């Protein structure tokens, strides 16, 4: 089918909730994707932080072939080995987790965590302890519960009224958090490094202060590591850089190597209150996707791999700093590992759109932040190519 025909079909039959660029992606390898006319793009967005091991990764393809030989689906009514093994690997990957609940996406993981917080508070005998707190710049998903804790007004307003007892404080401002978190709060959800909101890392004092506030008011601290987790920041979990443990952590994006899977990791305190029937999912944590996820986690949770993310991340950071110093269109750069936000002086979508013409896929995070999330397997020479393509883009826009 010709690209124009695919685009026409899309326009006719798909709900127009996305603005897509005028080409059709057809295949990929490593950090590169190709369109149906064989144009080549360096994928510096990883399908929004998903393709951490790149496209057509040999180990993922082999894991898929192996998993396809087994059961694809059983529902959660039955035991399966890949699910149990993945849960063990996740719990052993960090200090905070004792048990796991699997989901199909990051949104669902957050939705579940919010429900768990309410259930946990009720189990303490506090019927009125229902408050949920999130922060400015947050993104936790688009379902009613997750959206209630997502800050962006344009995502929220058309769907109000949202879930009651949802409150916001200012990100990285402990005084603001202290005004909102109180004895009626059951859960506080925060991204250790905000993604959609502009690629903003939390300060160490902020996360430590939130932990203290949650302890003081007997509330659960939830880290949303859907975007910043699983090696993206150079440690397996972003919060490991902060030495603050949450009570729950939500994860998703890269875990399935491109297949949909998410999870809520909880500590014993939360685990003990969740009983049969309290939450569920038909598809989540199926044997096929868990088998593939076991392989992805095995590859990312490797010291050498994480050192690579840090080293190549430093290289990208240095190069981006140089670009900021040279370009009149750029203001500053912030981030960690291979998760970078470049603050722009013009609407970032203009740069993103021009980048397509230079064979580069980048993302935006809000109005004036260009978001760069290459596959974690990216090599130094590919980072150099990314920068060259971005530089050419900036010159064309400027
Ligand atoms: C921090 C964060 N939480 C939750 C979500 C929602 O995840 P999903 O799109 O898998 O539902 C996202 C998606 O971008 C995210 O970045």
Distance from C-alpha of 340 to C-alpha of 234, rounded to nearest angstrom? 12
Q: How confident is the model at residue 290 (pLDDT cuts 50, 70, 90)?
A: very high
Residue in 253, 259, 261 to alter for ligand 1 test, most ligand atoms within 8 A of Cβ: 253
State the pLDDT at residue 237: 98
Establish whether domains 3-57+303-397 and 70-300 are of one fold: no
State the pLDDT at residue 3: 97
Distance 210 CA to ligand 1 centre (A): 21
CATH architecture of 3-57+303-397: Alpha-Beta Complex (3.90)
Atom of ligand 1 nearest to the CA of 194: 1
State the pLDDT at residue 169: 98
198 Cβ below 6 A of ligand 1? no
Distance from C-alpha of 280 to C-alpha of 364, rounded to nearest angstrom? 34
pLDDT tens, 72-131? 999 999 999 999 999 999 999 999 999 999 999 999 999 999 999 999 999 999 999 999
Q: What's the mean per-residue pLDDT of the chain?
A: 98
Query: Kind and range of the H or E element at 221?
Result: strand 220-224
Residue 368: count of CB within 10 angstroms of its CB? 18
Domain boundaries, the chain: 3-57+303-397, 70-300
| Cα 388 from chain centre | 27
State the pTM of this model. 0.98
Can you name the CATH fold of 70-300?
3.40.640
46 Cβ below 6 A of ligand 1? no
pLDDT tens, 306-363? 999 999 999 999 999 999 999 999 999 999 999 999 999 999 999 999 999 999 999 9
């Amino acid at each position: 089918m010709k690209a124009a025909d695919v685009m026409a079909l899309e326009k006719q039959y798909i709900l127009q909730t996305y603005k897509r660029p005028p080409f059709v992606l057809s295949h990929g390898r490593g950090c590169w994707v190709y369109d149906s006319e064989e144009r080549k793009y360096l994928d510096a967005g990883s399908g929004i932080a998903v393709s951490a091991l790149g496209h057509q990764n040999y180990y993922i393809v082999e894991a898929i072939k192996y998993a396809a030989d087994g059961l694809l689906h059983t529902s959660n009514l039955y035991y399966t080995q890949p699910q149990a093994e993945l849960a063990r690997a996740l719990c052993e990957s960090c200090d905070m987790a004792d048990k796991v609940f699997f989901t199909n996406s990051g949104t669902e993981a957050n939705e579940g965590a919010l429900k768990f917080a309410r259930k946990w508070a009720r189990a303490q005998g506090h019927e009125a302890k229902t408050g949920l707190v999130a922060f400015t710049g947050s993104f936790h998903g688009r379902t009613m519960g997750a959206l209630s804790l997502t800050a962006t007004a344009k995502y929220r307003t058309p769907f109000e009224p949202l879930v009651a007892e949802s409150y916001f404080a200012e990100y990285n401002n402990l005084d603001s958090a202290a005004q909102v978190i109180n004895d009626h709060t059951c859960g506080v959800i925060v991204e250790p490094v905000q993604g959609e909101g502009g690629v903003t890392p939390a300060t160490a004092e902020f996360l430590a202060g939130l932990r203290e506030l949650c302890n003081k008011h007997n509330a659960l601290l939830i880290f949303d590591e859907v975007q910043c987790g699983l090696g993206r920041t150079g440690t397996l979990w972003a919060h490991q850089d902060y030495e603050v443990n949450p009570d729950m952590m939500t994860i998703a994006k890269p875990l399935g190597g491109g297949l949909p899977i998410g999870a809520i990791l909880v500590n014993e305190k939360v685990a003990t209150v969740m009983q049969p029937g309290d939450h569920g999912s038909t598809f989540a944590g199926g044997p096929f996707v868990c088998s593939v996820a076991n392989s992805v986690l095995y590859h990312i949770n490797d010291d050498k791999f994480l050192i690579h993310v840090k080293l190549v991340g430093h290289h990208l950071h240095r190069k981006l700093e140089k670009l900021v110093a040279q370009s009149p269109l750029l203001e500053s750069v912030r981030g960690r590992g291979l998760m970078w936000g470049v603050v722009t002086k013009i609407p970032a979508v203009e740069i993103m759109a021009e980048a397509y013409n230079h064979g580069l896929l980048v993302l935006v995070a809000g109005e004036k932040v260009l978001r760069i999330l290459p596959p974690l397997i990216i090599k130094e020479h590919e980072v150099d190519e990314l920068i060259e393509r971005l530089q050419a883009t900036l010159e064309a826009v400027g």
